[in-house]
Structure 1
């Protein structure tokens, strides 16, 4: 199960209200692969595909393709604000990574 934290849920609900589309789902997708592992992205979506898996966490409907769900069955989506800015943080403990080839990963 993917957990949407209270802070992330509040921010997502606010964004949905601003868009005037409170029924949209939050789609999790693969945005790329780096030496730290799979990088995920988020986008609002109103279409379900045949191979989609849906779930709900903290009042937010989540949608993702089955192959993503197999590799991202546990994790969290959080919202952070610090001196560097603000944004959503996706944590996937089963993502692995850290191949050591880029020189900048720790």
Structure 2
């Protein structure tokens, strides 16, 4: 059984490095969905100190992850990875619930949630 959000070992390493660099060790990693982007929904990741009343808590690779109750169905089964190439590196998000996404991959929609698309 998979978690709402799964992070790969490569992503975990990069997240820990970012936490260390920003003085955020011990913080939670919030994974969120918000309206916007070409396809209607966008992903967000941020470090937070507090757990909200309606947050689900996960832990993977010693990283504490928060997902709001409202975002959990949209993110269910999502995998966050980190890819490095000659052009640099970046996080990739594979969401099995996304039925359409924009070319950059940071905006998407699901069968039940189209969000609020913006012109790109």
**TM above 0.5, one fold?**
yes
- Cα pair 1:4 1:60 within 8 Å, conserved: no
2:21 maps to 1:18: yes
Alpha-carbon RMSD across the aligned residues, in angstroms, is: 2.4
TM-score (norm 2): 0.71
Q: Which runs of 4+ in 1 moved over 6 A?
A: none
Q: Distance in 1 between matches of 2:88 and 2:35?
A: 22
For residues 32-47 of structure 1, the aligned pairs below 5 Å read 32-36=35-39, 38-47=41-50
TM-score (norm 1): 0.79
- Cα pair 1:37 1:96 within 8 Å, conserved: no
Secondary structure of 1:79's match? strand
Q: Tell me the CA shift for residue 83 of structure 1.
A: 3.8
Gaps of 5+ in 2: 102-108, 110-120
For residues 1-106 of structure 1, the aligned pairs below 5 Å read 1=3, 2-36=5-39, 38-97=41-100
Gaps of 5+ in 1: 100-106
Matched residue pairs, number?
Answer: 101
Specify the alignment match of 1:102 in structure 2: none
Q: Tell me the CA shift for residue 82 of structure 1.
A: 2.1
